[in-house]
Amino acid sequence: MNNVKIMGIVNVTPDSFSDGGQFFDAKNAIQHGLDLAEDGADILDVGGQSTRPGYTEVSAEEEVKRIEPVIKGLREQTDLPISIDTYFPEVAERALSLGANIINDVRGFDIEGMLDVALRYSNSELVIMHSRPRRKKLTVEEDLHQFFKEKFEECQKVGIADDRIIFDPGIGFGKSLEENIKILQQPELFRFKEYPLLYGVSRKRTIAHLIEEKRPLERDYASVAASLFSATKGVEIVRVHQVKGMKDSLKVWNQLN
């Protein structure tokens, strides 16, 4: 538990389901990232594309336009690792060239060219998330393990070092409520080999169902509770909006446990 890392979310979008527009202005986004760093974030995750249900995709060019000044500003003012939340290789490449350290790909490196970017930036870490449609003939555990195995083999084939890989089971992406809850409750079932796990459940519909709260901004306490529970089960990285609450919860847990 002492080694759990907190990834703070910096959405540079006008339409994120939970905080769309709040930090769309680059100056606001940079300040928000610095505030998260002050609150105890270990990683800052910058994204310029909303992936909320029913989202309208923006181009890679627009995404670069959104994230470029934010990553520049953050890198000038903090040494924390910066993650780029994107599935476009062009966006990942630009972000890494500006000093980002992690590619956080919600499409699991399924788009051609992303692994090539990862190879060019050999010091970067890779978060590989499962968001493919569920294969109903398989259990959720079987499905995710097959996906992780496929991605592991692809990385090995092109020479990506094992210590760069992090897996994310993709809570809320193409899975039923029961499957999402199972992923939260039993991370050990979804671990592939010894690779670190990243869980991102903050403000998602799974939390809304658990507490019957329609307003995303009112789901932070429950999001921290769910993330803390997963951390106690061995998850190495939790991606949250409410960094201070997460940091304080981990600190108290570690002292009382």
Per-residue b or e along 49-58, where b marks 16 or more CB atoms closer than 10 Å to that residue's CB: bbbbeeeeeb
219 catalytically annotated: no
- Marked catalytic residue, from 66, 239, 244, 247: 239
- State whether the Cα torsion 9-13-18-19 is positive or negative: positive
Q: What would the pLDDT profile of 7-43 be if each residue is shown by its tens digit?
A: 999 999 875 444 444 556 889 999 999 999 999 999 9
Q: If we measure between CA atoms, which residue out of 108, 28, 107, 19 comes closest to residue 66? A: 28
* Residues linked to residue 45 through DSSP beta bridges, in sequence order: 9, 83
Per-residue pLDDT band for 55 (boundaries 50, 70, 90) equals: low
Q: What pTM did the predictor assign?
A: 0.94
239 catalytically annotated: yes
Describe the chain by its helix, strand, coil percentages, rounded to 5.
45, 15, 40
**Counting beta carbons within 10 angstroms of the beta carbon of residue 204, is it exposed (0 to 12), middle (13 to 18) or buried (19 or more)?**
buried
- Marked catalytic residue, from 66, 151, 204, 205: 204
- The pLDDT of 183-199, averaged and rounded, is 97
